[in-house]
Amino acid sequence: MNKLTLLLAICLMCTPRAASAQTSPESAGKSLLRMPIVFVDLADDPRYESVRAYGRVVLDAREHPFAGAQVGVEDARAIGRAIGAEHHLARITVKSPQEMAAAVLKEIDGGASFFLMDAPADALRAVAAAVKGRDALLFNVSAPEDSLRRDLCSAEVVHTMPSRAQLMDGLTQFLVSRKWRDYLVLRGPRPGDVEMAAAFERSAKKFGARIVATRDFTPGTDPREREKNNVGLLSALNRDWDVTFVADADFDFAREVSYRTVRPRPVVGSIDLEPTAWHWTWAHNGAPQLNTRFMRVTNGRHMGGADWAAWMAVKIISQSALRTKSLDFKIRRAFILKEGYFDGDKGEPMSVRPWDHQLRQAVLLASPFSVVAAAPVEGFLHQRDVLDSLGDDESETPCRLNK
C-alpha cells in the first residue's frame, strides 16, 4: 500500500471532528494547495424575501444556502489533508442577474472550476450559456424549475436541488400509496405556482391519480374577489375528492387553507405536507449529526432543502478528488458525471443522471415538525435505479446529454 492510499484509507475512517482535533485547520492550510469552490448569489434575490402576515409578523425568514456550503467545506477538511489540497469556499454576490455571467467567467479565468449557483432560473440560463465549453461545472443548489433540466439541458450544469418533477413525483407516490387518488388543485397566480401545479398534474397522470378540479385563487381579502380568495367557495365542488393540493409560492393564501375547505380533507403542496430535499427532523442515515453541525454554524437555524443541496454539491466536489486521487478537472468531472455514487444522508446512494445531470435522490415528505415518509415509496419500482422513479426518466425528457 503506497503512502497516498494509506492516507486515503485513514481519511475515510475519520470524522470531521476527529480529524480537526489532530491538525488545526490553520496549520494544515499553510501547506495545502488551495482549490476554490465559488458560491455565487444575487443581492436582493426576491426568492429570499421574508414571508410576512398582517402586522409585519414574519411567517418564514428565508435564507440563502451559503451555510450549507460552509458545513460541506468543514466536513471536507480531512479529505484535503489526504490529497494535499484543501477546498476553499469563496462567495460572490452580484447586484443583478446580468452581472452574474461576467463574474463567473472572471473566476474561471482566474483558475476556478467548481461553482455553487444560488441563482434564479433566468440568471442560471445566462451563466450556462456564457460558460459553454469551458472547464467548469455549475451546481444548481436552489432552482427547481423543470425547464432547466429539459430545455436548458446544459453539459456544464449539475442539479443537486431536486426538480419540481422529482418533488411532485415523491408527493404523489405517497398519496397513491395511501389510496388517495382524487385531488382538488388550488393554484396561485405566480409563474412558480403555475409550474408547481403543472408538475403535480403531470405526476398525478403518471401514477394513475386524478385531478378532480383546478381552481385559481387570488391572494388577499378583497370582498369583490371573494369567489377567488374564499377557501370555502373555492372548494365547493359537486363531487368528492381525497386531498387538497395548494400551489402558493407566496405562502399567504396557503396558510389559510387547512380546516377551511368544505370537506375535511388533508392539505399538501405548499403547506402541511410538503415534498422537500431536506427537513430538520429527518432522523436517519446520519442526518442528526448533519443537522447538529448545521445548527452550530448558523446559531440554531434549521437546515432546509437548498442548504442540503449546497452541502451535497460540496461533498460531490470533494469526493471527486478523494476517490479519483486526482486534482485534474477533466478526471474529476468524468467521475462526477459518469462513475460516482455519493452518500447524501438520505438512504439510497446518489448519482448524476447522464441524460440531464439531475442528481438522483430521495424526496422527504414533511409536515412542519416531522418527516412523514421518504420517497421512493415502497412498491414503486424501476428497472434500473429505484431513484429514477422520481422525476424525468430518460424516456420522459427531451434532454439527451448522454447522446
pLDDT in tens, 192-203: 999 999 999 999
Q: Identify the residue whose cell numbers are 450549507.
A: 68
- Looking at residue 317, what DSSP letter applies? H
The pLDDT of residue 78 is above 90: no
Quickly count: other Cβ atoms within 10 Å of residue 322's Cβ: 18
CATH of domain 166-276: 3.40.50.2300
d(CA 2, CA 275): 46
**CATH class of the domain defined by 3-162+278-361:** alpha beta
The pLDDT of residue 17 is above 50: no
Is pTM, for the whole model, over 0.85?
A: yes
d(CA 394, CA 397): 6
Predicted confidence band of residue 31 (pLDDT cuts 50, 70, 90): low
Cell of 188: 396561485
DSSP-assigned states of every residue in 16-31: HHHHHHHS-HHHHHTT
The pLDDT of residue 23 is above 60: no
Give the type of residue at 47. R
d(CA 399, CA 114): 22
The pLDDT of residue 33 is above 90: no
Predicted confidence (pLDDT) per residue in 208-250, tens digit: 999 999 999 998 777 788 888 899 999 999 999 999 999 999 8
The pLDDT of residue 18 is above 50: no
Spatial CA neighbour of 341 closest among 359, 325, 366:
359
φ, ψ dihedrals at 124, nearest 5°? -65, -40
Sequence spans of domains, the chain: 3-162+278-361, 166-276
Contacts of 267 (CB under 8 A, 6+ apart): 243, 244, 245, 246, 257, 258, 261, 273
Angle ∠(45,317,96) on CA atoms, nearest 5: 20
Q: Which residues pair with 116 in a beta bridge?
A: 39, 139
Task: Give the pLDDT confidence score for residue 54 in this predicted structure.
Answer: 65
Across 14-37, average pLDDT: 52
d(CA 317, CA 338): 14
Domains 3-162+278-361 and 166-276 alike in fold: yes
